Amino acid sequence: MALDWNDVGGELRVLIWSPDYRVMPAGSGLLLSIPGGARFEVTKAEVADYRGNMLSLRWAEKEDTGFSLKEAVPNPFKGATEIGFAVASEVVVNLSVYDVSGKLVKKILNEKLLLCEYRVTWDGRDESGRPVRNGVYFVRITAGEFSASRKLLLLR
């Protein structure tokens, strides 16, 4: 893995990447450590997988320890929508989009996550990368024994 950083208007931006395009499996190692005496606080991180799928997260406060699936923003949406959710403990999280007949449209996430609040983006495309039709879809999260779903309305 390689590391690069830049100070942009008082915001420290750190980029970690693999020059040989290796994928680092979840939990396989420490990517970045910030000493406790540092004069800044990490409040936001953006992570992309090798396909460019973005995942944004904010460290959860002690009182933010429940599982939840937030309202998608925007909803209805035209091009893409952000789906927020909170994870209460280290657990495998599955986040997927289904059509009204219950058919899987897109598996957005299926991996072990830590206690935190997350936001992912769904771009209105199916597993093959094709844009889906206008209509009603459902996003469903399962994390351990927790499960929830929310309605999404795509209007192109």
CA dihedral 141, 98, 78, 131 (to 10 degrees): 130
Three-class secondary structure of residue 3 per DSSP: strand
Q: How far apart are CA 122 and CA 111, in angstroms?
A: 17
Interval 123-148: pLDDT, tens = 999 999 999 999 999 999 999 999 99
CB 127 within 8 A of CB 108: no
Looking at residue 88, its pLDDT comes to 87
DSSP classification of residue 101: T
Q: Which of 80, 62, 67, 75 is nearest to 151 (CA)?
A: 75
Q: Which CATH number fits domain 68-154: 2.60.40.4070, 3.60.20.10, 3.40.630.10, 3.40.50.170?
A: 2.60.40.4070
What are the structure tokens assigned to 135, written together?
């209509």
**Average pLDDT for residues 39-68, to the nearest whole number?**
60
Interval 80-101: pLDDT, tens = 999 999 998 889 999 999 999 9
- Domain assignments of the chain as residue spans, ordered by start: 2-53, 68-154
Interval 113-128: pLDDT, tens = 888 889 999 999 999 9
Q: What is the pTM of this model?
A: 0.61
Task: Quickly count: other Cβ atoms within 10 Å of residue 91's Cβ.
Answer: 16
